């Protein structure tokens, strides 16, 4: 498959590196409006630098769109119109209307469209998905120091959307309500946001995101029936805790309704809870994502993250923004 990367800044350069490592992909070229940057990355990988997408359109079968989000529609459009397979980085677009246009362009031409929700390919998250099939409760913390990247979009679309997508992917249900708080600190848009996503059948996801923290932390806890998994994505470790099948709190209550454990809390917990580390492979998530996109582009499978899933994550992100801005306006008036 002949491939290209459009936008070779921070993340696009990683796309170029990995495309170059995939034996079944031929990195034909990279495109960037910054000609020096395009040449620098093209030289690194022995491919051609282009400053304009029109020059590469007839030379590729698949393309990564890694331009800033406000340019996703404009840069993806010519490829989608030409029926070329397109991987658009997350968030799918800057607005829901633009996301709809991207999906419509792909539908009209039959192009394969995948959205770059890379956490779906994180081996730790993948191992957890296989364990808890019907989560009741999800907690996600994504705390990041300030960088100058993506400040043209809210932290909700920049970082929180990763966890929104995971929650929507894991909880097989419609959203019933979204309640959020947040504020801007260093950017023109929100840098901090906390959201609660409530689903129709009762499951809930709490998502906490910052891009102005001093430290970095990415943790996810997924609670299911009688078990949960806890993931630390920065330290790359996770464990599963399960409650023994026969445990019933009613068996251990004193007359005041308190849990009693005459053997001591440590023994009580070790008797009823089983904790085991998660095992997972070490594959680089971006490599797994591009491999899967390549398979979809070949027609061997459906895209792992479809345009409509990318659009759904954006819709939930918009509800988060609507909720937190509504609260902000109420505060300003008060
Ligand atoms: N999946 C993830 O975890 C993840 C992580 C970081 C960024 N992203 C997404 O990737 C995209 C790029 O982010 P970044 O941090 O790499 O940005 P960046 O600013 O570092 O790089 C963007 C590059 O695109 C080029 N560019 C801008 N307009 C262009 C155009 N019309 N045609 C060709 N090139 C153009 C710029 O010159 C720049 O080199 C954003 O949508 C962002 O949300 C996703």
- Domain CATH number, residue 175: 3.30.360.10
13 in a structural domain? yes
From first to last of the 334 residues of the chain, give the pLDDT tens digit: 999 999 999 999 999 999 999 999 999 999 999 999 999 999 999 999 998 888 899 999 999 999 999 999 999 999 999 999 999 999 999 999 999 999 999 999 999 999 999 999 999 999 998 898 889 999 999 999 999 988 989 999 999 999 999 999 999 999 999 999 999 999 999 999 999 999 999 999 999 999 999 999 999 999 999 999 999 999 999 999 999 988 999 999 999 999 999 999 999 999 999 999 999 888 999 999 999 999 999 999 999 999 999 999 999 999 999 999 998 776 677 7
pLDDT at res. 292? 98
Report the C-alpha gap between 45 and 16 in whole angstroms: 8
d(CA 94, CA 279): 37
Residue entry with tokens 């209550």: 253
Residue where a domain stops, chosen among 76, 111, 146: 111
307: in domain: no
Question: Could you tell which of 16, 29, 31, 67 is best to mutate to test the pocket of ligand 1, judged by most ligand atoms within 8 Å of the CB?
Answer: 67
Instruction: Please give the distance, rounded to the nearest whole angstrom, from the Cα atom of residue 66 to the centre of ligand 1.
Output: 5
Same domain? 129 vs 90: no
Q: Three-state DSSP class for 162?
A: helix
pTM (whole model) above 0.85: yes
The alpha carbon of 270 and the centre of ligand 1 are apart by a number of angstroms equal to 49
Report the atom number in ligand 1 closest to the C-alpha of 153. Answer: 43
- Asked if the structure places residue 224 within a domain, the reply is yes
Q: Measuring from atom 30 of ligand 1, which residue has the nearest CA?
A: 33
Q: What's the confidence (pLDDT) of residue 52?
A: 87
What CATH number has the domain bearing residue 34?
3.40.50.720
Centroid of ligand 1 to alpha carbon of 268 (angstroms)? 52
Instruction: Choose the final residue of a domain: 111, 138, 167.
Output: 111
111, 135, 150 — which closes off a domain?
111
CB atoms within 10 A of CB 148: 8
* 99 domain-assigned: yes
Instruction: Take atom 27 of ligand 1 and give the residue whose Cα is closest.
Output: 67
Provide the domain limits for residue 57.
Answer: 2-111
Ligand 1 centroid to Cα of residue 275, in Å, is 41
| Interval between CA 86 and ligand 1 midpoint (Å) | 15
Ligand 1 lined by 9 (C-beta under 6 Å) = yes
Q: Note whether 139 and 269 are same-domain residues.
A: yes
216 close to ligand 1 (CB < 6 Angstrom): no
- Total domains in the chain come to 2
Distance set, CA 325 to CA 69, 98, 264, 273 (Å): 21, 21, 49, 42
> Is residue 64 in contact with ligand 1, taking CB distance under 6 Å?
no
Considering the domain boundaries, does residue 294 fall inside one?
Answer: no
């Amino acid at each position: 498959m002949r491939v290209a990367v459009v936008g070779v800044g921070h993340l696009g350069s990683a796309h170029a590196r990995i495309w170059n490592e995939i034996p079944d992909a031929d990195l034909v070229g990279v495109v960037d409006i910054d000609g020096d940057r395009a040449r620098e990355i093209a030289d690194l990988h022995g491919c051609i630098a282009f400053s304009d997408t029109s020059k590469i359109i007839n030379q590729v079968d698949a393309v990564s769109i890694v331009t800033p989000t406000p340019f996703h529609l404009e840069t993806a459009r010519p490829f989608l119109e030409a029926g070329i397979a397109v991987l658009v980085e997350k968030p799918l677009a800057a607005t829901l209307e633009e996301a709809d246009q991207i999906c419509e362009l792909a539908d009209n031409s039959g192009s394969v469209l995948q959205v770059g929700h890379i956490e779906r390919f994180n081996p730790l998250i993948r191992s957890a998905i296989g364990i808890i099939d019907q989560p009741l409760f999800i907690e996600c913390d994504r705390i990041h120091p300030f960088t100058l990247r993506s400040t043209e979009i809210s932290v909700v679309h920049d970082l929180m959307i990763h966890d929104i997508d995971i929650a929507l992917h894991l909880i097989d249900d419609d959203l019933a309500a979204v309640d959020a708080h947040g504020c801007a600190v260093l950017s023109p848009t929100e840098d901090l946001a906390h959201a609660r996503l409530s689903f129709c059948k009762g499951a809930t996801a709490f998502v906490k995101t910052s891009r102005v923290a001093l430290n970095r932390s990415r943790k996810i806890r997924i609670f299911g029936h009688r078990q949960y998994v806890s993931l630390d994505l920065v330290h790359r470790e996770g464990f599963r805790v399960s409650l023994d099948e026969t445990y019933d709190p009613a068996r251990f209550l004193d007359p005041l309704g308190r849990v009693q454990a005459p053997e001591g809390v440590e023994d009580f917990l070790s008797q009823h809870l089983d904790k085991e580390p998660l095992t997972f492979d070490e594959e680089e998530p971006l490599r797994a994502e591009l491999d899967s996109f390549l398979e979809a582009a070949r027609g061997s499978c459906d895209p792992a993250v479809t345009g409509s899933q990318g659009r759904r994550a954006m819709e939930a992100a918009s509800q988060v923004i609507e909720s937190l801005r509504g609260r902000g306006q109420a505060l300003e008036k008060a």
